[in-house]
Chain A
Amino acid sequence: MSILEIVRFAIRGLFINRLRTALTMLGIMIGVASVIILLAVGNGSSKAIQSSLDRLGTNSLQVNSGARGFGGRRGGASATIRKPLTILDATALMDPIQAPDIKQVAPIANVNAACVIGTNTITPSTFVGTWPSYFEASNTQVLKGSYFTNDDVTQGRNVAVIGNTVATTLFGTDNPVGQTIRCGGIPFTIIGTTEVKGSTGFLDGDSLVVIPLTSAENSITGYQPLSSILVEAKSPTATTPAQTEITNILDARHGIKGNASADFSIFNQASLLTTSATSSQTFTTLLGAVAAISLLVGGIGITNIMLVTVVERTREIGIRKAIGAPKGAILSQFLIEATILSLFGGAFGVLLGILGSHFTISGTKPILVPASIFIAFGVSALIGVFFGGYPASRAASLRPIEALRHE
């Protein structure tokens, strides 16, 4: 009795009841497809978080005025005098002895103004006056044109680097470099446009105008305390010691002692995103578990259908045994039937999964995990053997006289 022969019997058995065969395969197919798609969604969302992590510059910390906000220190007693952040605070953070983990510092003055050229207007969501170190610390790269320089800051030149959203709103497809726009009524010459950043959550990273700190103060905002200080640590792992160094320096400068609450807060973007990356991993695990359960349900579907098939075909099994079919031949026939169900169900599931991963699902672009395809397919094949095993062994151990008597 060749195995090929048994495979032929098995296929013939499956063709007898096509609808049932198709529905059983559907169970496995949905299981496999959901494993692939849900893992791809999980993978896609953690990739998305990872890339916004990269975009932000994982090394950066933001010091804000006031004790509010994420990562702020909360003490028992309230601060006696609230001191604003100043340029002197920023330069103090550049001390290589007290702050060895800090690479560079960029003081930031937020500007609230609209930019206009002709009839086109935009109010950038991020409009800052700062130092050239801002570009590196915030991982903002100029694509066309150039960055402004320390000299531009010293001289208070009215130059601007703009983001893609601002460029297209104001200039359409024209090259904005060299053009002049008016922001808050003051003319600024555009010297560069930045690389597309995409949006981070609800904030459009490309709705951006960056001008020298001095020109912002001279012409638009006036001389005011800094809105924040952007600090770049020397490496991603140095952000935590850098945060301590900032706290120590600013505590000393602002006269904050003991348990007194600070009048500034440090926003660690990396740690925020690491938290969301962790939660995204949990999310992926949960999705995977749900998918695995649906695969399991599909497997139980196979057991169920195979048990029904064995009962239905008891007489046929009896005939086969009476005319000399050994136990192994019957066992293999039903095992192969179950395996074919799960293999084909699995193969269709892989196709469906790959297809389904091309669609954006609740705002996440799924990214296929190649291993999940092999695992899901492999597991579905094993499911055939595992869940088909019990019905098959029941069929094989039927006693021929009883099986023949079955109506």
Chain B
Amino acid sequence: MLQLAVAVVAAEAVDSVVDTQPVIEVQHAIKQYGVGEASIFALDDVSLTIAAGEYVAIMGPSGSGKSTLMNILGALDIMTSGKYFLDGIEISSMDENHLSIVRGRKIGFIFQSFNLIPRTSALANVELPMAYQGVKGAERRERAMVALEVVGLGDRVHHEPTELSGGQQQRVAVARALATRPALLLADEPTGALDTKSTNDLLDLFDQINAAGRTVIVITHEHDVAQRAKRIIRMRDGKIVSDELNKERVA
């Protein structure tokens, strides 16, 4: 059953992504806070291309600019200068209202603190982004059920966040991210609040999702987590200091 569901999600992913086009293309991104002498460059001329189907880890200590990069890649924030193409669309010049539509359609977020809507069932949480996109009730429910099956929570769809463990909540968040069939799965310290077993389960899930063809970007400072990715980008002081394939995984 799980295998079948994953296959369905994989097939959808292949349909929606044109192979030749990069999912992410960032050119000379600069993010500056403050002005004059006191100004800080959180991103200092970062250029980055990520192709469809990649599994990328972005690493770095706190203050390295990885969270800023994640916010910009996730269309949650805008850069001071530079260009950003997401799935072929230039979004660096969009206003917040258009950005919200882009986020809903192109990006599936997974946060460290899960960020589920409180007092709302797992199913309703997974349906929510589709509701904002105007997907009709029946189709929405079906897609949400499939996504919850994929993450292994088919039997807990009516539980509210407080009735689920941390690992389960994070899997609801993954289901929510998957259900919209995004071009990109963007995870910000997804294992930061999880125990070892849940962490491994989640990373296994990421492997499956990536194996099914979906692009995955994980922002983390944990070495173990980064080692599961196929490409590792290291950042320091707002710059990319290394960008290499993970030899253990890309054999």
Q: Do A and B come from one complex?
A: yes
Which of chain B's residues have a CB closer than 8 A to the CB of A321?
A: 100, 103
Q: B203-218 toward A: CB 8 Å interface, digit per residue (1/0)?
A: 0000000000000000
Interface residues on B, range: 20 to 34
B120 and A324 form a contact (CB under 8 A): no
Which of chain B's residues have a CB closer than 8 A to the CB of A404?
A: 76, 111, 115
B71 and A401 form a contact (CB under 8 A): yes
Query: Please, which residue of chain B has its CB at the minimum distance from the CB of A321?
Result: B100
Count residues on chain A whose CB falls below 8 Å from chain B CBs: 23
Q: A1-39 toward B: CB 8 Å interface, digit per residue (1/0)?
A: 110010000001000100000000000000000000000
Q: Would you call A144 an interface residue if the criterion is a C-beta within 8 Å of the partner chain's C-beta atoms? A: no
B71 and A323 form a contact (CB under 8 A): no
Q: Would you call B228 an interface residue if the criterion is a C-beta within 8 Å of the partner chain's C-beta atoms? A: no
Tell me the smallest distance from the CB of B160 to a CB of chain A, in Å.
12
Chain B interface: which of A167-175, A190-198, A325-333? Answer: A325-333
A324 and B134 form a contact (CB under 8 A): no
**Contact flag A401-B100 (CB < 8 Å), given A1-B132, A316-B117, A322-B109:** no
A322 and B77 form a contact (CB under 8 A): no
Q: Name the residue in B71, B74, B100, B109 with the highest tally of chain A Cβ atoms < 10 Å from its Cβ.
A: B100
Within the assembled complex, what's the spacing in Å between the Cα atoms of A322 and B133?
Answer: 13
Q: Would you call B243 an interface residue if the criterion is a C-beta within 8 Å of the partner chain's C-beta atoms? A: no
Option from B103, B119, B134 in Cβ contact (under 8 Å) with A323: B103
Option from A16, A322, A327 in Cβ contact (under 8 Å) with B103: A322
B131 and A1 form a contact (CB under 8 A): yes
Residues of A within 8 A of B (CB): 1-2, 5, 12, 16, 315-316, 318-329, 399-401, 404
Query: Please, which residue of chain B has its CB at the minimum distance from the CB of A326?
Result: B100
Within the assembled complex, what's the spacing in Å between the Cα atoms of A321 and B115?
Answer: 12
A12 and B111 form a contact (CB under 8 A): no
Which of chain A's residues have a CB closer than 8 A to the CB of B105?
A: 324
Residues of B within 8 A of A (CB): 71, 74, 76-77, 96-97, 100-101, 103-105, 109, 111, 115-120, 128-129, 131-134, 176, 180
B134 and A1 form a contact (CB under 8 A): yes
| The 10 A-B residue pairs with the shortest CB-CB distance in the complex, in nearest-first order | A324-B104, A323-B129, A319-B115, A324-B132, A401-B76, A325-B132, A324-B103, A326-B100, A400-B76, A327-B97
Which of chain B's residues have a CB closer than 8 A to the CB of A400?
A: 76, 100
Q: Name the residue in A320, A322, A327, A401 with the highest tally of chain B Cβ atoms < 10 Å from its Cβ.
A: A322
Query: Please, which residue of chain A has its CB at the minimum distance from the CB of B71?
Result: A401
B76 and A322 form a contact (CB under 8 A): yes
Within the assembled complex, what's the spacing in Å between the Cα atoms of A401 and B96?
Answer: 11
Option from B115, B119, B120, B134 in Cβ contact (under 8 Å) with A322: B115
29 A-B pairs with CB atoms under 8 Å apart are A1-B131, A1-B133, A1-B134, A5-B131, A12-B120, A16-B119, A316-B117, A319-B115, A319-B116, A320-B128, A321-B103, A322-B74, A322-B76, A322-B103, A322-B109, A323-B128, A323-B132, A324-B105, A324-B133, A324-B180, A325-B100, A325-B104, A325-B132, A326-B101, A329-B132, A400-B76, A401-B71, A404-B111, A404-B115
Which of chain A's residues have a CB closer than 8 A to the CB of B101?
A: 324, 326
Which of chain A's residues have a CB closer than 8 A to the CB of B132?
A: 1, 320, 323-326, 329
Which of chain B's residues have a CB closer than 8 A to the CB of A323?
A: 103-104, 109, 128-129, 132, 176
- What 9 new A-B contacts, CB under 8 Å, besides A318-B115, A328-B97, A401-B71? A1-B131, A320-B128, A324-B101, A326-B101, A399-B96, A400-B76, A400-B100, A401-B77, A404-B111
A327 and B96 form a contact (CB under 8 A): yes
Which of chain A's residues have a CB closer than 8 A to the CB of B133?
A: 1, 324
